[in-house]
């Protein structure tokens, strides 16, 4: 694959690395992306489902949709892209560098692949909260019996994710922005880069002089310096091996 060696060299030299991921990194785990051919959004208008207004209007529909996605995420397994990102973290940290993984995904697969230095910008599907009190609960592996689901404090349970029109967790956004502003290399993997403020992290890294690299099956609007076009589960293990020939991504 042309263009992989300069990226590998930049990774070997880097003192600070950020990896920004989107739904595309979980496609090879069998989880649909949002705007792909059969994306979750195709059947459902995001504005109709992923907003506090939609939940207020029809909590049964929205909580059933999210429970379907929660069960799919629990049934899925990390793929070689997730494992390569976890290995990349280990290689950078062992070399004394700084590493930050920033994900828009709410499926929890990065943690299960062994990633540690992780910021979940948009929350996590496996945790739910009472929409009145905010008290969090971690549901068991089985589907909820009925929708909507009564919360512990008189509200309904909702997924602990960030909906359109809702603010991101300030600590997560601050950590992501700080890492983007001080990294030498940012990999942008499997995201359409159209949702903000996540997409603005690429701009911040480029403005800070970082080498920016997109890994995607197609080119997106992201303003990056390098594009490695291909499936993340194929490109990332190859990039890690090209960067650190002794590296052995687990899995």
Residues of the shown chain interacting with ligand BV8 in the complex, contacts defined by CB under 6 A: 22-24, 27-28, 33-36, 39, 50, 104, 106, 122, 161-167, 190-192, 194-198, 216-218, 220, 231-232
- Number of neighbouring beta carbons within 10 Å of residue 106: 24
Q: Least distance (Å) from ligand BV8 to the CB of residue 49?
A: 7
* CB 138 to ligand BV8: min, Å: 17
Q: Quick one: 49 or 97, whose CB is closer to ligand BV8?
A: 49
Other Cβ atoms less than 10 A from the Cβ of 164: the count is 13
Q: Which is nearer to ligand BV8, 130 or 214 (CB)?
A: 214
Q: Between 100 and 220, name the residue whose CB sits nearer to ligand BV8.
A: 220
What minimum distance in Å lies between the beta carbon of 64 and ligand BV8?
13
Residue 121 beta carbon to ligand BV8: minimum distance, rounded to whole angstroms: 7
* Number of residues assigned to the chain: 251
**For ligand BV8, which is the closer residue by CB, 23 or 210?**
23
Judged by beta carbon, residue 5 or residue 166, the one nearer ligand BV8 is 166
Closest CB to ligand BV8: residue number: 24
Q: Is 122 a catalytic residue?
A: yes
Give a three-class secondary structure readout of the chain: CCCHHHHHHHHHHCCEEEEEECHHHHHHHCCCCCCCCCCHHHHCCHHHHCCHHHHHHCHHHHHHHHHHHHHHHHHCCCCHHHHHHHHHHHHHHHCCCEEEEEECCCCCHHHHCCCCCEEECCEEEEEEEECCCCCEECCCCCCCCCCCCECCCCCEEEEEECCCCCCCCHHHHHHHHHHHHCCCEEEEECCCCCCCCCCHHHHHHHHCCCEEEEEECCCCCCCCCEEEECCHHHHHHHHHHHHCCCCCCCC
Q: How far is the CB of 129 from ligand BV8 (least distance, A)?
A: 14
User: Where in the sequence numbering do the catalytic residues fall?
Assistant: 122
């Amino acid at each position: 694959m042309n263009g992989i060696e300069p990226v590998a060299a930049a990774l070997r030299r880097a003192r600070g690395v950020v990896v920004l991921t989107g739904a595309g990194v979980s496609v090879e785990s069998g989880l649909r992306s949002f705007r792909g051919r059969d994306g979750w959004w195709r059947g459902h208008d995001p504005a109709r489902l992923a907003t506090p207004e939609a939940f207020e209007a029809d909590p049964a529909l929205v909580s059933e949709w999210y429970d379907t996605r929660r069960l799919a995420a629990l049934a899925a397994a990390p793929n070689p892209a997730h494992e390569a990102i976890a290995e990349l973290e280990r290689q950078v940290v062992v070399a004394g560098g700084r590493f930050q993984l920033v994900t828009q995904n709410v499926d929890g697969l990065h943690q299960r692949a062994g990633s540690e230095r992780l910021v979940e910008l948009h929350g996590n599907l496996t945790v739910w909260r009472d929409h009145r009190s905010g008290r969090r609960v971690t549901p068991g592996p089985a589907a909820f019996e009925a929708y909507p689901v009564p919360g512990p404090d008189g509200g309904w349970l909702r997924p602990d994710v960030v909906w359109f029109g809702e603010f991101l967790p300030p600590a997560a956004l601050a950590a992501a922005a700080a890492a983007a502003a001080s990294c030498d290399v940012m990999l942008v993997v499997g995201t359409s880069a159209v949702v903000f403020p996540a997409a603005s992290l690429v701009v911040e890294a480029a403005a800070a002089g970082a080498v920016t690299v997109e890994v995607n099956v197609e080119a997106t609007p992201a303003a990056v310096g390098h594009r490695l076009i291909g499936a993340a589960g194929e490109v990332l293990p190859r990039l890690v091996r090209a960067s650190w020939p002794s590296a052995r991504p687990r899995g």
